[in-house]
């Protein structure tokens, strides 16, 4: 079975919740269905309804299935561990209540790494004590997710403290593969100088979730030379609809198929809120992804949508 496609509210610019300019969630869900998607990610917790009955009703009205969601938090900040864990708990409740199966853990953007995005030699690395603290907090988050009936995956992200290949390899080495998988993001990999197809091949069955992005190569090179931040890259439309950039999406799909990958592939085109091309781009991305070997079919409901482990 080819990887099933999903899409995230981030393709409409919805990242941190509560932005007064963000579109109503109902209109985003309507456009997701109109674009042809049958699976959706939660987005930042608090954007979609958190009450299980209301969330399932809103999705059901549009024939959508919730498949995953993320906690993008500063896991490396020991002084914020309690706050981070509270967000993870809240996210897991929403995901499990909505029938999703996967929690995606992502380090938060930090200014010092956002300013060196895509420039490996310029980027500082965490010291060993801070790294060990990050691992400890990630393991606490993993335990919460697994107790909620969710599988866990980690998403290396441009502009964070886990962006480049040495950081990805170190993190995967420090986390038990039976507990935490790898989410390969095709676009963030390219920005970080990583070949996403090779990353999939190298980590094999540890890859349990993927994000699909495409990257405008000429824009990326110009922005790197200008030492742009990650936020400036997003504002400059470095991310393109699938098939309109430099990422080998057919090769990516083929590598996943060779692994008998049975997870979801979530389309994300990071952009600013209010972009009038969001719906058109989402539909174009779905069409290209299907031609590339992905499936538009709906994913099954999680076996244990109540949130309690059996």
Structural domain that includes position 169 = 4-292
Q: Give the pLDDT score at 300.
A: 80
Q: Is residue 307 part of a domain?
A: no
Q: Is residue 143 part of a domain?
A: yes
Q: Give the pLDDT score at 305.
A: 45
Please state the pTM of the whole predicted model: 0.95
Q: Is residue 304 part of a domain?
A: no
At 172 the three-state DSSP class reads: helix
Q: Give the pLDDT score at 306.
A: 44
Q: Is residue 308 part of a domain?
A: no
Q: Give the pLDDT score at 2.
A: 87
The CATH number of the domain holding residue 193 is: 3.20.20.150
3-state helix, strand, coil in the chain (%, to 5): 45, 15, 40
**Distance between CA 154 and CA 174 in Å, rounded?**
12
**How many domains, in total, are found in the chain?**
1
Q: Is residue 63 part of a domain?
A: yes
Q: Give the pLDDT score at 302.
A: 67
Please report, in angstroms and rounded to a whole number, the separation of the first and last CA atoms in the chain.
Answer: 27
Q: Is residue 209 part of a domain?
A: yes
Q: Give the pLDDT score at 13.
A: 96
Q: Is residue 299 part of a domain?
A: no
For the chain, state the CA radius of gyration. Answer: 18
Low-confidence ranges of the chain (pLDDT < 70): 17, 302-310
Residue 29 token pair: 């869900």
DSSP labels, 190-240:
HHTT--HHHHHHHHGGGEEEEEE-EE-HHHHHHHHHTT--HHHHHHTT-EE
Q: Is residue 96 part of a domain?
A: yes
């Amino acid at each position: 079975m080819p990887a099933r496609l999903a899409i995230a509210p981030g393709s409409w610019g919805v990242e941190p919740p509560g932005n007064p300019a963000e579109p109503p969630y109902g209109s985003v869900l309507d456009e997701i269905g109109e674009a042809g998607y049958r699976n959706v990610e939660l987005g930042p917790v608090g954007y979609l309804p958190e009450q299980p009955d209301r969330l399932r009703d809103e999705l059901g009205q549009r024939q959508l299935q919730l498949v995953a969601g993320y906690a993008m938090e500063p896991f490396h900040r020991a002084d914020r561990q309690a706050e981070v864990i509270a967000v993870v708990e809240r996210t897991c409740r929403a995901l499990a209540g909505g029938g999703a199966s996967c929690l995606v853990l992502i380090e938060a953007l930090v200014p010092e790494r956002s300013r060196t995005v895509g420039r490996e030699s310029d980027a500082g690395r965490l010291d060993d004590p801070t790294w060990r603290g990050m691992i400890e907090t990630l393991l606490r988050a993993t335990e919460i997710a697994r107790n909620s009936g969710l599988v866990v995956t980690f998403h290396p992200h441009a502009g964070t403290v886990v962006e480049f290949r040495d950081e990805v390899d170190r993190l995967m080495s420090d986390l038990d593969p039976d507990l935490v998988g790898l989410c390969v993001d095709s676009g963030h990999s390219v920005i970080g100088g990583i070949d996403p197809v090779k990353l999939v091949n190298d980590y094999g069955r540890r890859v349990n979730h993927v994000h699909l992005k495409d990257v405008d190569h000429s824009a990326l090179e110009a922005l790197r030379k200008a030492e742009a931040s990650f936020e400036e890259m997003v504002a400059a439309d470095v991310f393109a609809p699938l098939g309109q950039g430099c990422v080998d999406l057919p090769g990516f799909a083929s590598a996943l198929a060779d692994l008998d990958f049975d997870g979801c592939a979530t389309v994300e085109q990071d952009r600013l809120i209010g972009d009038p091309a969001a719906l058109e781009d989402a539909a174009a991305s779905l069409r290209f992804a299907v031609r590339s070997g992905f499936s538009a079919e709906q994913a099954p409901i999680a076996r244990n949508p109540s949130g309690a482990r059996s």
